[in-house]
Amino acid sequence: MSYCFLFLALSTAPLFAVAASMDIQAKFSPDPANPLVNKFINTTPSTGYCFDFYTSCEFLRIFSLRTPITFSSSNPIPGRHSDPRQGAMFKVPAEWRTFTVSKVGGEGATSSEAVEVKVRIAGIGTRYRLSASASDLVGRLDGEHHILWSGLNWRTPSAPSVGTSVSGHIPTEFNVFWLTPVGGTCTKTAAYTIPAFEYLRFDFGYVLETPEPLKMSQGIYTGSITYQIGPHGDFDMGDNMLPSESNLTLNFTLEVQHTLKVEIPPGGNHIELEPQGGWQAWLNQGRKPVRLFRDQTFNISASSRFKMLLECQYLAGNACGLRDTESAHLVPLNTSVSLPYGLADAAGQTVNRRPLRLDGGGTELFQPGFYLDRKPGTLHFEIAREQVESMLSEGVRKTYSGDVTVIWDSEV
């Protein structure tokens, strides 16, 4: 699978609002400079935490957004409280959760094509505000935030959270960011009573596990996941710290832009069939050709699934035919394709001289294992021996011709 690492942050919003939503966009388009790197890239502009601390976010491979959620204490936080739910606690959905994104069809409707996406909360952060300075609350002129709390200050969280080097504070506020590698509850116990307490900004990072874009058709895919915010919810900050929003919905848009391009060399659209070694053996020695054939190379660039089809000027069963311009005698033309390494059929088999038929049988799906950039393939055209004999049986000069259209179609 491929991975996108993103980050989300929360900020002030009106009290009594019931829900918040954020939009996250990711995009895939093949990169000829890195054909083996096939994953979605986050295209959402960073705001909030990663806007201020972009170096840390690059190291952690996260991104950030700022959302309209704050938390406020409903009662004073008692000093040396024994119940963590009465103080500062953080329990976030650090485990993987799965949701579905579906391809947007005509007029915005979703189609039946859907893929699964996984997301987990990978970090949390906050900027708390005290009702008075830390010195005033602890009753000491040299009072610092680490004195206000039992144990170390908020730069170092309790397990299972892991602290980062990013923190900052003023007498009434303290800013931190913690990583949440696994699920669990992180707590901080106040050593002194705090009459009122707020989270002015609550940041959280998440990791997005996206599907393999090479197995998706081109288009826009949308989906969402909703988290409950508040006591005993997905984001649980205890019974005392109440949120300004009761739900947070993340709306995801995944855009897939594929490449499917076939290049035929100049003159390659005009095929002349000849026997092995040319016509001289027959003209000079009377040796009839065993078969007539021509291989035509092409270059293909492909990041998407595709199928191959035939269209014919003259039909010959399940194949195209060539017809004599005078007698209207028709012979079938065997057309097949060999695709370069990296392209396989639905069963994962390599494609070597795979017959192209009018009903599309056997060429319904070809799948790239990685992005191919101008890799060579071959179209094979052949008239079999028994048909060659029928063409030459009367010993009269004849000209057989016909139009054959080979289609590479990404609409699978």
Q: Are 314 and 242 contained in the same domain?
A: no
At 241-294, the pLDDT tens digits run: 999 999 999 999 999 999 999 999 999 999 999 988 777 766 655 667 888 999
Pick from 14-23, 178-187, 288-297, 390-399: least confident: 14-23
Are residues 176 and 163 in contact, defined by beta-carbon separation less than 8 angstroms?
yes
Looking at 240, 256, 272, which one is the last position of a domain? Answer: 256
Q: Are 34 and 95 contained in the same domain?
A: yes
Are residues 316 and 324 in contact, defined by beta-carbon separation less than 8 angstroms?
no
Q: Are 297 and 362 contained in the same domain?
A: yes
**How far is Cα 328 from Cα 316, in angstroms, rounded to an integer?**
13
Q: Are 213 and 278 contained in the same domain?
A: no
**How far is Cα 247 from Cα 69, in angstroms, rounded to an integer?**
10
Q: Is the pLDDT of residue 11 over 60?
A: no
Q: pTM of this prediction?
A: 0.82
Domain containing 310 — which CATH number? 2.60.40
At 304-313, the pLDDT tens digits run: 999 999 999 9
pLDDT on residue 251 = 96
Reported confidence tier of residue 12, pLDDT bands at 50, 70, 90: very low
Reported confidence tier of residue 164, pLDDT bands at 50, 70, 90: confident
Q: How many CA atoms lie within 13 A of 40 on its CB side?
A: 31
Contact residues for 58 (Cβ-Cβ < 8 A; gap 6+): none
Q: Are 60 and 167 contained in the same domain?
A: yes
Percent of the chain with pLDDT over 90: 65
Determine the structural domain holding residue 370 and report its residue range: 260-409
Q: Is the pLDDT of residue 18 over 70?
A: no
**Which residue did the predictor score with more confidence, 67 or 314?**
314
Q: Are 268 and 352 contained in the same domain?
A: yes
Residue with tokens 């919003």: 13
Cα dihedral: 336, 338, 339, 341 (round 10): 160
pLDDT on residue 108 = 56
**How far is Cα 379 from Cα 367, in angstroms, rounded to an integer?**
18
Q: How many residues does the chain have?
A: 412
Where do the DSSP E strands lie in 229-342?
Answer: 241-243, 247-256, 260-263, 292-302, 307-312, 315-316, 319-324, 330-338
Task: Count the neighbouring beta carbons within 10 Å of the beta carbon of residue 45.
Answer: 11
Interval 390-405 mean pLDDT: 85
Looking at 221, 256, 291, which one is the last position of a domain? Answer: 256
Q: Is the pLDDT of residue 5 over 70?
A: no
Q: Are 127 and 270 contained in the same domain?
A: no
pLDDT on residue 285 = 58
At 206-246, the pLDDT tens digits run: 888 999 999 999 999 999 999 999 999 999 999 999 999 99
Domain count, the chain: 2
**How far is Cα 123 from Cα 177, in angstroms, rounded to an integer?**
7
Q: Are 135 and 155 contained in the same domain?
A: yes
Q: Are 299 and 328 contained in the same domain?
A: yes
Reported confidence tier of residue 355, pLDDT bands at 50, 70, 90: very high
Q: How far is CA 378 from the centre of its chain?
A: 31
3 state SS of 57: helix
Looking at 216, 240, 256, which one is the last position of a domain? Answer: 256
